[in-house]
A and B are shown apart, each in its own frame.
Chain A
Amino acid sequence: MCLFQSIMNYFPEEVLEHVFDFLTSHRDRNAVSLVCKSWYSVERCSREKVFIGNCYAVNPERLIARFPRVRSLTLKGKPHFADFNLVPHDWGGYVYPWIEAMAKNGINLEELRLKRMVVSDESLELLAKSFPNFKSLVLVSCEGFTTDGLAAIASNCRYLRELDLQENEVDDRKGQWLSCFPDSCTSLVSLNFTCLKGEVNVAALERLVARCRNLKSLRLNHAVPLDVLQKILAQAPQLTDLGTGSFISDPDSETCAKLKNIMKKSKSIRTLSGFLDVNPRCLPAVYPVCTNLTSLNLSYAPGIYSTELTKLICHCEKLERLWILDTIGDKGLGVVASTCKELQELRVFPSDFYGVGNAAVTEEGLVAISAGCPKLNSILYFCQQMTNAALITVAKNCPNFIRFRLCTLDATVPDAVTNLPLDEGFGAIVQSCKGLKRLSISGLLTDQVFLYIGMYAEQLEMLSIAFAGDSDKGMLYVLNGCKKLKKLEIRDCPFGNAALLADVGKYETMRSLWMSSCEVTFGACKTLAEKMPRLNVEVFNEGEQIDGSPDGRHRVEKMYLYRTLVGPRSDAPDFVWTL
């Protein structure tokens, strides 16, 4: 035992615990757990926030056994490509067993954050009734529940602070879930129900807002009309984050005038979103808050056209995060570039994908942003076309990218000027951005781009690839080169068994690997599964019964493998075969 360790062991555990309190990141806490047995023990008994990136990597029992004092749990379920309908319905990711186990074991759960999981009303009811101190529920891209489940949460969680529903598919049961918050509930700090499609009881909403004096974040759904928004804002000048409901009114009406006045007084608002239904002529009402905005999400506002968008953005000089639709156009991005000097994150979503978009943005917009916004570190950019020259310029202008995701609307489009693959462009990005952690590439790409990625992307943790590469070499460059790779997702690439099996040990250092519509065969997957017992190798071919043993030479349509401590899962549906 080294000197340092013996000194540390001299301190009573309480001191260690106190020191560990300062470690908030789960990575740091995971690291200290590995130092020695006593540190592991102290750490595990004191950890309150647990992050599980793949719910099938462990199970509820192990969670509870290791972290008996857990108060906040974050769980992620389905693979990322589930967002794009690539994962069959019913694949899995159920939260119920977790809630059930924690309830049975007397866990004092206060916070639950779920992403891409299946959440039933029963789960929500059990959650609401089992944890008296429950404070915070955040659901992102989940499904399986209805407003009845929300009613249970509202009715039973006496100290609820946060109910944050982001982009979930919720069945609206026309119940009065919002009215279920008892009059005694005054603790809400954050309420986001934007993704609910149905009507809400606006009177109940107004009363709720009026009595929750600590409410900081309120995001409404499209069913809340403008005049109600105005009344709510008048009651809640302390709001820092606002998502509008329906933003439609006669711009000359008293309602609009009142709204503008209220906005002038809402000096705390830093984050703004909504506008799903909008009369753009009412937008000037929000100009007063624009000057202080740091975060603006207009990516669900297709009714705001380019000119109105740019007029609005001109007021937003402090913007750090901007999510918009490509209706803004390259010119509009130019305005962003000259106005938003503090910009760190930009996402440009497609507004029209019925065909060859004409509202789309091109490489010009991206270059303009890179030139004008020196603090840019995160980008998601759906574009009509791209060039190597542009990417090289962007790489030079912005060496600080942590996340770089480029999606050409046409998956295999070459350089718009030279017709060459976009290898050199992305190569420049990975070479220049030494801190790059997440990368999505698209367009016409050969094995060469993967050579660059393997060579330069040393910090890369997540890579998304589609319709790219020529041979197994591509995948091998990445697997061999990216030492910190955690998640690799590949679709429609000519990568096969040789690449898959070259370094089987690699997969235990990663969270997961997804391959669909590639050249991998059933036999290879089986081989991999046999060699690596601590991986779950799931194979699914849709619509096909996996009966008996399929031919080993059969190509696998979809494969998802992930490291796990608990072996094959018991809730896999029929079409999923864990080898």
Chain B
Amino acid sequence: METSLGLLNSAGGGGGGGGGGGTLDKNTAKVEKDYMGMSKEPELELVEKGKGSAWGEYGRILTAKDFPNGFSSGRNAVSAGTKRERASANSVDEGSASSPAVSQVVGWPPIRAYRMNTLFNQAKTSNVEEDKGVGGNENDEQSKKKMNHGNDKNDVVVKERGNVGFVKVNMDGLPIGRKVDLHAHKSYETLAKTLEEMFFKPSLTTRGGKEQSVQPPKLLDGSSDFVLTYEDREGDWMLVGDVPWRMFLNTVKRLRIMRTSEANGLAPKSQDRNEKQNGKPI
């Protein structure tokens, strides 16, 4: 029987940002911070302004908002200045009326597209820029090809860096762990794919690379019994996929494929997000 990792919701990169489309309720008191430095905000009302489509259509990495039932504990929440995960799990918990989709204003906050792409879109394979961005579709093809080539070079580079890129991966129920070289990957997708191949034997249907339609997408959206988590520099266990790839690389110490049932509170997310975000096969 095939199981696959419940890793990420969407293959998209992080361009879905542009926070600031929200409007706080006028009656909102000053934001309190609890002892963890977490903001305790009352219900946020995300007001859709302007078109928002180009911004919102940017593929994005799965974030905590895709787990409407919240995280297991407050430990996972952010302390100011050191974590970049979305503490907005809280806001969602409070039953915000807004949909999980981050409705953003196009071009706000005003951050250069280059900066957005560099810092927040590393995990993307398909850069859905439509006619707003630069380069359009040609760039997608190029960047995909580049990523394939890039992996070869990375093997050489890794040796020079020593063991920095290799982290342990353990899976619940398996006594023996594996090691995976994070620097050989440029995105969550490729990492997920590698881990799946490592831990779950491929099913009878052999995939010829291009034919992916037979398989459910790897980057899972809830049909799996497992989620991928990691331990960060501060010793906390976090859900993989919230932060941009680069930040993840800088903070991850080891990985754990956890049973969904054990990741208390982590509910499987909805299927829809997955649809348009999943990139074309590499």
Contact = CB atoms under 8 A, between A and B. Distances in A.
Interface stretch (B82-90, B190-198, B209-217): B82-90
B257 interface: no
A169 B134 contact: yes
A410 B107 contact: no
Given A409-B109, A413-B24, A492-B49, A329 B139 contact: no
A440 B246 CA distance: 30
B107 A85 contact: yes
Interface stretch (B68-76, B155-163, B218-226, B259-267): B155-163
Interface string B116-141: 01110000000001011111101100
Nearest to B26: A419
B80 interface: yes
Given A353-B18, A356-B19, A356-B44, A329 B107 contact: no
B113 interface: yes
Contacts of B82: 305-307, 359
Contacts of A382: 109, 111
Interface in B52-98: 54-55, 60, 63, 65, 78, 80-84, 86-88, 91
B282 interface: no
Nearest to A557: B51
Contacts of B139: 169, 171
A68 interface: no
A357 B119 contact: no
B20 A408 contact: yes
B280 interface: no
Given A353-B19, A416-B30, A358 B80 contact: yes
Contacts of B41: 356
Contact of A172 (B17, B63, B111, B142): B142
Contacts of B31: 385, 416
Contacts of B39: 356, 358
Interface string A164-182: 0001110111100000000
A393 interface: no
Interface stretch (B4-12, B146-154, B170-178): B146-154
B24 A410 contact: yes
A412 B112 CA distance: 20
Contacts of A244: none
**Looking at chain A's contact residues, is the secondary structure mostly helix, strand, loop, or mixed?**
loop
Interface in A370-413: 382, 385, 407-413
Nearest to B251: A303
Given A88-B132, A491-B107, A171 B138 contact: yes
Contacts of B108: 84, 411, 466-467
A320 B160 CA distance: 36
Contact of B114 (A195, A226, A357): A195
Interface string B237-249: 0000000101101
Interface in A182-199: 195, 197-199
Contacts of A81: 107, 110
A128 B23 CA distance: 51
B245 to A, nearest CB: 10
A299 B83 CA distance: 16
A151 B132 CA distance: 28
B203 interface: no
Contacts of A331: 81
A89 B132 CA distance: 5
A412 B244 CA distance: 27
Nearest to A383: B109
B81 A141 contact: no
A350 interface: yes
A409 B250 contact: no
B81 A354 contact: no
B81 A305 contact: yes
Contact of B81 (A226, A332, A413, A417): A332
Interface size class of A (residues with CB under 8 A): 35 or more
A492 B50 CA distance: 8
B105 A411 contact: yes
Given A276-B246, A278-B250, A358-B80, A353 B134 contact: no
A168 B117 CA distance: 11
A331 B81 CA distance: 9
A357 B107 contact: no
A141 B37 contact: no
A168 B113 CA distance: 10
Contacts of A173: 142
A278 B19 CA distance: 26
A356 B78 contact: no
A352 interface: yes
Interface string A424-437: 00000000000000
A411 B48 CA distance: 12
B111 A412 contact: no
A100 interface: no
Nearest to B130: A89
B16 A85 contact: no
B180 interface: no
A355 interface: yes
A302 interface: yes
Nearest to B88: A355
B113 to A, nearest CB: 6
Interface in A286-345: 299-300, 302-303, 305-307, 327-329, 331-332
Given A89-B131, A89-B133, A84 B112 contact: yes
B110 A84 contact: yes
A250 B161 contact: yes
A249 B114 contact: no
A90 interface: yes
B148 to A, nearest CB: 10
A529 interface: no
B139 to A, nearest CB: 6
Contacts of A358: 37-39, 78, 80, 83, 87
B117 A169 contact: yes
Interface string A82-104: 01111011100000000000000
A249 B160 CA distance: 9
Contacts of B60: 354
B258 interface: no
A249 B162 contact: yes
Contacts of A327: 81, 84
Contacts of B37: 358
A143 B134 contact: yes
Contacts of B160: 225, 227
A251 to B, nearest CB: 9
Contacts of B112: 83-84, 141, 167
Contacts of B251: 303
B14 interface: yes
B75 to A, nearest CB: 15
7 contacts: A85-B133, A88-B131, A198-B146, A329-B80, A332-B81, A355-B91, A440-B110
List 5 tightest A-B contacts by C-beta distance, closest first.
A303-B250, A84-B107, A353-B19, A329-B81, A143-B134
Interface of A: 81, 83-86, 88-90, 141, 143-144, 167-169, 171-174, 195, 197-199, 223, 225-227, 248-250, 253, 276-280, 299-300, 302-303, 305-307, 327-329, 331-332, 349-359, 382, 385, 407-414, 416-417, 419, 440, 464, 466-467, 491-492, 517
Given A359-B81, A467-B108, 14 more contacts: A83-B110, A85-B107, A141-B114, A171-B135, A226-B161, A248-B161, A249-B161, A279-B164, A303-B251, A305-B82, A307-B82, A351-B119, A411-B109, A416-B30
Interface of B: 14, 16-24, 26, 30-31, 37-39, 41, 44, 49-50, 54-55, 60, 63, 65, 78, 80-84, 86-88, 91, 102, 105-115, 117-119, 129, 131-136, 138-139, 142-143, 145-146, 149-150, 153, 157, 160-164, 183, 244, 246-247, 249-251
